[in-house]
Amino acid sequence: MKTMKKLFPFLLVFALMLSCNAFSMAEAADDTAEAAAFLENIKGTYEPLFPVITRSEYDQLWLDPCTAVVGEEAAPQMAEMLKTACNGTIYGQAAIESFGDGSNGAQFDCLFINGVSTITFNGSTIKGADESGNQVFSHEYAYAGKLALAGMMEGYLYETADADAGEFKYFYMMPDTPATTFHLEFRYGSNVDDLAKYNEGPYAYWLAAGFPVDADANTVKNVIELFCLENLDYSAHSEGSLAQLKDLGFEGKWVADMSPFGEAYAGVELYMVIDENGHGLTFMNSQKTRDFEAFAFDNGEKGDGAGLYVAYDNEAKEPEAAPYTMVTNDSNRIVLTFYAVDGVISYMKAE
């Protein structure tokens, strides 16, 4: 479990990137075992992420986190904007002509390119197939070193010795795995220098996003929520989001029930205070441990006391989310419970 100053885990994400053009390669020796373990951890067959998760059947999964943060009125437009951001179909010179240096906005192409519809990772063997299942490439790869995309996103570079590899000579893998961020991010190509550039060259505005072909509904939900949370704007509460928070009863002081955590926390007092502006502070034994912005949305039956809670850490600059329930117990006290992947914690509203 994470430290008690946080309510639930932070995650990494496929974030919308900024413009910068620099790259670096580190020595491979010390990272070889780590890079080999990474390939073992991603074994499986993948398809492009965004065509799957932007299907209409998943619209509500996009709306829920957006509604919590921006309010019901603005949520549909925000959800559509997020869906569109990485659902592009052009890259390279065509994208450069359309987006320039990206300073006025750009759309990322996150599909698989060069005739590939699925990619299978099986240890050091990587292979791709077309939409009919015919093999497009298959090669053995060895770790070549660390590489940073535009000086920002560092990942593992793998190279094949096969002379006929062409545009599949290198695979440049970001550290995401299905176990951590529910998807993969990577590039492949024939030139290392070009692979390290964000908005220049033949791979400009392209970063493949892979999703397990056997992903279940929960994985779909998790990756959509993660993408939304990491790309929403938390700089100010909207009128709609503040109204939601107030109507749901989040304003006030909430004292945590530490009894489920055993004797180690028997003498610990943990509480949080959320004010009328949605600003929150967490205290442990009277010491401030967290400064955050709170957001919430009743995404079930209206008034059923269940929904989605989002907290944005003002110091770590990271969001997190968990389902919640708010009920009145037998003593007529209001109890707020968060159900996170790393555990459950309940708070009682101070009288």
pLDDT-derived band at 173 (thresholds 50, 70, 90) equals: very high
Q: Which two tokens stand for residue 112?
A: 């698989």
The answer, yes or no, to whether residue 112 has pLDDT greater than 60, is yes
The domain made up of 239-349 has a fold known as Lipocalin (2.40.128)
The set of long-range contacts for 29-34, using a CB threshold of 8 Å and a minimum separation of 24, is 31/143, 31/145, 31/146, 31/156, 32/143, 34/156
The answer, yes or no, to whether residue 19 has pLDDT greater than 70, is no
DSSP 15: P
Strands of 135-140's sheet in order across: 135-140, 125-129, 118-122, 44-48, 208-212, 184-189, 170-173, 153-159, 142-149
Q: What is the mean pLDDT of residues 54-69?
A: 96
Give the per-residue pLDDT at 152.
82
Q: What is the mean pLDDT of residues 184-212?
A: 97
Give the per-residue pLDDT at 16.
35
Give the per-residue pLDDT at 58.
97
pLDDT digits (tens, 9 = 90+) for 44-61: 999 999 999 999 999 999
Query: CATH assignment of 29-231, given 3.20.20.140, 2.40.128.20, 2.60.40.10, 1.10.150.120?
Result: 2.40.128.20
pLDDT digits (tens, 9 = 90+) for 243-295: 999 999 999 999 999 999 999 999 999 999 999 999 999 999 999 999 999 99
The answer, yes or no, to whether residue 150 has pLDDT greater than 90, is no
Q: Which two tokens stand for residue 340?
A: 């996170």
Question: What are the sequence ranges of the domains in the chain?
Answer: 29-231, 239-349
The answer, yes or no, to whether residue 24 has pLDDT greater than 60, is no
Give the per-residue pLDDT at 13.
28
The answer, yes or no, to whether residue 20 has pLDDT greater than 90, is no
Torsion, Cα 114 120 122 126, to 10 degrees, reads -10
Q: What is the mean pLDDT of residues 317-331?
A: 95
pLDDT-derived band at 26 (thresholds 50, 70, 90) equals: very low
Give the per-residue pLDDT at 31.
86
Mean pLDDT rounded to a whole number for the chain: 90
Indicate the pTM of the whole model.
0.86
Q: Residue 279's closest CA among 268, 264, 294? A: 294
The percent of residues in the chain predicted with pLDDT above 70, rounded, is: 92
The answer, yes or no, to whether residue 134 has pLDDT greater than 50, is yes
- Beta-strand runs (E) in the chain: 44-48, 118-122, 125-129, 135-140, 142-149, 153-159, 170-173, 184-189, 208-212, 252-256, 270-274, 279-284, 287-297, 306-313, 318-328, 334-340, 343-349
Q: What is the mean pLDDT of residues 132-138?
A: 98
Give the per-residue pLDDT at 70.
96
Please check whether the two domains, 29-231 and 239-349, share a CATH topology.
Answer: yes
The answer, yes or no, to whether residue 300 has pLDDT greater than 90, is no
Q: What is the mean pLDDT of residues 205-233?
A: 96
User: Which of 68-77, 231-240, 281-290, 296-305 comes out lowest in average pLDDT?
Assistant: 296-305
User: Which of 1-10, 31-40, 66-75, 321-330 comes out lowest in average pLDDT?
Assistant: 1-10
Q: Which two tokens stand for residue 307?
A: 């929904």
